[in-house]
Structure 1
Amino acid sequence: MSWLLVPLTLAGAVAVVWYRLPTVVADPVVAVVAVGAQAVLGALLLLLLWAIDPLRPLGRPWIIVATAVVWGGGMCVFLSGFLNEQIDAVAAKLSLDPDLVLSAPVIEEAVKLLGVLALIGVGRRWVRDPLDGFVLGAAVGIGFLTVENVTYALSAAAEARDAAVPVTEAVTQSLLVRSALAVGSHSLYAGIAGFGLAALIVLHGRGRTGRGIAVFAAALTTTLAAHLLWDAEWGLTSPANVIPPAVIAVALVVIAAVLLRRGRLRLRTPTPAPADAPGTPASAP
């Protein structure tokens, strides 16, 4: 069924363009500027991911990582936006406070993790260590955050016009704040969750399913907690209120650094996998 991944990924990319086309047409100048800025940001983040990847010398097909980015920026953004709107509509009918509906982080992380699972299924023979899941998840997150940042920039422009405030200032602030915090947001949410998912798959293949479930649960809990806290009403338009998300970002960077360091140690002292397990030379996380 791996062949389904290509049309699904392309369909997602087309869907998100169609879904956001009205806002792009309404403000083409902001759209072009935002897309250009986020293309540069995405390239820098992918270069950073390539540089810190301990498994890079062992080889990984570039098409897998590229597909992860397109999945994140296409299908993930489209499904997340569509499903969140439906849940908000249901919440409104039930007279629930939208601020109390915590569906966005759950839905966004679920669709990103679905992409990681599909990519692991397609490239199973290249999944040698949980860090493969981290890399694939981070790539999905990079695609998601860059496209999401463009939509936020367009929203900031529309809100600025409605409030009769300078559009340039609003768009610049939105892009700068979200780009500055990009390393510690969606890329690491999906990266840490992907690490847990790959750990579950790798450890299950070695007969250590319980350990794999524990690692996956810890990774997913960390991701959801960080995302839920990030989505709290800090008010990013105020400089002082950028501090809480920045603290969350730093904490995620530290966690990622620990996972990468332990991965390097595993690669230096590999433990042979069981004869009946898929080729994963590194020891358990």
Structure 2
Amino acid sequence: MAFSKNKDLESDQTKYKSLRNKKFFGLVLNRTVVYVILMFLAVITLLPLMWAVAASFTPLNKVFEYTYPFQFKALLPNDFTWEAYQNLFDRGMGNAIKNSLILAFSSVFFGGIISALAGFAFGSFDFKGKNFIFAIVVITFMIPTDIIAIPSYMLVRRLGWLNSYTGLIVPSLAHGMAIFLFTQFFKGFPKELLEAARVDGASWFRIFLSIVLPNSKPVILSASLLLFVGQWGSFFWPLLVAPTPKMQVVQMAVATAQGEYRTLWNELMAGALIAAIIPILIIMPFQRYYIEGISGTGVKG
């Protein structure tokens, strides 16, 4: 009887080990399949980027030499040269980068101040018509730029701001999305801190500078990155109000590689890489704060 029980126990243990091994094997197999699929998708995603990098260091007459039919040689520079980058900078890419940086950082600084103050007002105070005004602010970042471009251009022209930094910067300072981010963040700010500061005799502006801003680093960085990227990537508005070579921005400098009858593909790829690398280098160190700011505002991607 005891022998039979031991035999049944050993049989159950064997079945359990077999079942556990099958589950483990199934889990490993599932993960392996998932990783293989993800690696395949990653390679497909990276192939165009690798080709763009290679094309930017390749003479124009050899850019498509190994692409039809496709060969992996196309992912490496064919007859390495800096010609594309040199031509871009000869046509004013350096000045365009300077202009774009001036516009982007000006938008971050002045636009950030305006957005933070507006967000503090919407998030911390109750006043007549607040919801209506906030709804208008939210609607503004849903309206395509093309719809208001002509009226905005006519206003800038009447003010004499054409071909100037003022005409490029001022219209972008009131940023609806940045105001929305600050508003959502300040709605969750502890009201007890604000009330305690008011009891101590602090003005609202003092409270904003000394209490609110020092505790709002995530949303400040999040909104700053949003403003920077938005201004850095602008093309249509600068083309409309400041089309002169002296005032051209990076996106306009990149567009010079594409003519009506001919496209300089190596220069186009070089310009695209320059336009992408600079914001990436600026954003990457603050990526953690960007994610914290977005998650803290309740915005879903």
Which structure's residues are more often helix, by fraction? Answer: 1
Q: TM-score over 0.5 for the alignment?
A: no
TM-score, normalised with respect to structure 2: 0.28
Greater RCO (Cα-Cα under 8 Å, separation 6 or more) = 2
Select the structure of larger CA radius of gyration.
Answer: 2
